[in-house]
Structure 1
Amino acid sequence: MKRKNVLLSFVMLLTVSLFLAACGSSGGNGGSGDGDGAEKPQFLSMLTGGTSGTYYPLGGELSKIITDETGIETTANSSNASADNMAALAAGDAELAFTQTDVASNAIEGINSFEGKAIDNVLAIGSLYPETIQIVTSADSGIESVEDLKGKTVSVGAPGSGTYVNAEQILEAHGLSIEDDIEAQNLDFGESTGGIQDGTIDAAFITAGTPTGAVEGLSATVDVKIVPIAEDKIEELVAEFPYYAKDVIPAGTYGLEEDVTTVAVLAMLVVTDSLSEDVVYDITKAIYENTDKISHAKGEFIKKESALNGVGIDLHPGAEKYFKEAGILE
């Protein structure tokens, strides 16, 4: 009998020990919890853009910073960029993504390419750098203005990309439509510049930070022209779509002989609301406190002081916490 009591006591002690161990590892101040009761993930997927654009190489650097600073293995993956990235986050296919500020606003509001498909589980981390709308052609194409695109074969961006929306809005501001006035091609940046080089297309809309790798590659073999947007049309676009801003591509870029006026939106990072406040706080802090580790040319524009510029959707609570601590938000 005594032996049975000892055995029973041992079993009870073991059960209590296992229960306490489980409690200690499920959040709180220890184990793999991240401090707010949610589990800290081991892996994160970041969606970027095409391999010949700006998102992909910059995303690779940001992913490394997040991995090094937070201990969460983060991988940058190529994609069709902005609009597709928002849809993928909504579907739970990734946790982080690059997108354009205008595309994010459209997705949350359920307008333009998101008509009837509003997204409600994606929040902002912060903006990164200006993304310039570049209407690229060759110097001998005869295309001098946006109106000259009528009847031409023009790439308007990969399906689901923010570039498509920009092309649609800019063409409409000039009295043109994608469906009726141009021969539209849905190509990514590399395919677009390749098409201009071999003559299969006449021009391409490319929304990306300048200089863009694909356009630089084109300028090595072809004299590049960037079609300007007239000042009055810029004013119209900004008045109707406040996420646009006037931008200038400086002379010397791609071998240009003079400055070219155009418009820009902002690149931003977004995240699903499934990630906890503590995890997103750590991610946000990792990015904006380690910009000196970014070798990409766009790194100079990534600053906590300007991280809320153009952000038209709600911040994730983790990002909000960081920007309040940094004195950017009250």
Structure 2
Amino acid sequence: MFRRSTAARLAACTALGLMAAGTAHAQAITMATGQQGGSWFPVGGQIKAIVERENPDIDFTVTPGAGAANVVGVDAGRFQIAFANSISTVDSLEGKEPFRKPTTNVCNIGILYPQYFQIVSIADANVNGIADMAGKRLTTQQVGNTGEFLTRELLALQDMSYEDLGSVAHTSYSDSATQMKDGHADIFTLGSSLPTGSVMDLASSRDIALMNVDDATFEHFKAKNAAFQLRDVPAGAYPGFDQAIKTLSYDTHMVAPCDTDGTIVKAVLAAVADNVDSFASVNKSMEGLTVEEMATDIGVPMHSAAKEFYAERGIAGME
């Protein structure tokens, strides 16, 4: 009787142990990226694949998102990791538009690559400046996306708004490209890396032009947010695009709640830092990315675990 009772208790303990192990097997993590058809979503998928391969105890979910909305989600603790634009994150700290209040729980963990605000038009639409957008049909992203916010800011420079345009569609990158190809839109604005897949798709079937951003426009944006840069879009960036222009630029970086588990932060940073060639095959803008560049100070508090990671990799000033 004693033996059977002992055996039963041992079996029960073993079963409970297995159940507990199964429960603890996977730590569920959600990372917000960007729209399908943009540059963030596939990079997020690559991070997921590497993190899960190297860390079997992490269950990584990648979800579509948007620049400003991702920062709000991180601040609220809905996302453990998210992609963001440096300009949006800097604005969030002060509660500037489009943020309703200052964020208090958002930390930088690493720079990935530069982003470009692209004002793409069908070549024969003759959109050479902001004023030329009047009466034209625009396709852009949903409210909460950095590219959509910048579009409204750009129009405001000429005392214009969406009401001054022929029509405005808020949709995904890929749907915007389809609208342009089908002749249902004249202008496509977006913030993404170079080259952007949806714009490549558009340029393969229609002649396109990109609007040049002059110094005065740049200075207007720079005065509002020091994270803005003026960068070249080189000739040849897209099929048939044969004249270099300048445009507003900023950086894609990863953010996390400042109290996110440091193990997760380090796993994500290691996935990127140790597999740059792999990421470059997904997004050419990440080619040659260094740990030093990842650790760049952009005016957003650095997560304590990210500091430790960079210090361990030999980056000075991370104490």
TM-score range, shorter chain: 0.7 to 0.9
Give 3-state SS (helix, strand or coil) of 1:113's partner. Answer: coil
Residue 40 of structure 1 deviates from its aligned partner by 9.1
Q: Give distance in 1, aligned partners of 2:159 and 2:55.
A: 48
Q: Does 1:65 align with 2:65?
A: no
Q: Give distance in 2, aligned partners of 1:282 and 1:254.
A: 35
Unaligned runs of 5+ in 2: 1-5
Q: Does 1:176 align with 2:159?
A: yes
Residue 205 of structure 1 deviates from its aligned partner by 1.1
Question: What is aligned with 2:298?
Answer: 311
C-alpha contact 1:157 1:188 (8 A) present in aligned 2: yes
TM-score of the superposed pair, with normalisation by structure 1: 0.82
Structure 1 pair 186/274, CA: closer, same or farther in 2 (3 Å)?
Answer: same
Residue 46 of structure 1 deviates from its aligned partner by 1.5
Give 3-state SS (helix, strand or coil) of 2:90's partner. Answer: helix
Q: Give distance in 1, aligned partners of 2:25 and 2:270.
A: 16
Structure 1 pair 178/304, CA: closer, same or farther in 2 (3 Å)?
Answer: farther
TM-score of the superposed pair, with normalisation by structure 2: 0.84
Letter in 2 for 1:323: Y
Residue 93 of structure 1 deviates from its aligned partner by 3.0
In the TM superposition, what are the counterparts of 1:123-142 in structure 2 within 5 Å? Answer: 123-142=107-126
Unaligned runs of 5+ in 1: 1-9, 33-38
Deviations 1:86-120 (A, max 9, x none): 2333343331111111111222322101123x332
Question: What is aligned with 1:4?
Answer: none
Q: Give distance in 1, aligned partners of 2:176 and 2:297.
A: 28
Question: What is aligned with 2:210?
Answer: 226
Q: Does 1:92 align with 2:92?
A: no
Structure 1 pair 301/113, CA: closer, same or farther in 2 (3 Å)?
Answer: farther
Residue 273 of structure 1 deviates from its aligned partner by 3.2
Residue 289 of structure 1 deviates from its aligned partner by 2.5
Structure 1 pair 301/159, CA: closer, same or farther in 2 (3 Å)?
Answer: farther
C-alpha contact 1:250 1:259 (8 A) present in aligned 2: yes
Question: What is aligned with 2:262?
Answer: 277
Question: What is aligned with 1:199?
Answer: 183
Q: Does 1:120 align with 2:107?
A: no
Q: Give distance in 1, aligned partners of 2:169 and 2:89.
A: 24
Residue 199 of structure 1 deviates from its aligned partner by 2.2
Residue 301 of structure 1 deviates from its aligned partner by 5.2
Residue 278 of structure 1 deviates from its aligned partner by 3.2
Q: Give distance in 1, aligned partners of 2:316 and 2:149.
A: 31
From 205, 219, 224, the equivalent of 1:235 is 219
Question: What is aligned with 2:151?
Answer: 167
Q: Give distance in 2, aligned partners of 1:259 and 1:209.
A: 16
Residue 315 of structure 1 deviates from its aligned partner by 1.3
Q: Does 1:75 align with 2:57?
A: no
C-alpha contact 2:36 2:172 (8 A) present in aligned 1: no
C-alpha contact 1:243 1:310 (8 A) present in aligned 2: no
C-alpha contact 1:129 1:301 (8 A) present in aligned 2: no
Aligned length: 306
Q: Give distance in 2, aligned partners of 1:260 and 1:232.
A: 15
The sequence identity of aligned pairs, in percent, is 24
Q: Does 1:321 align with 2:315?
A: no
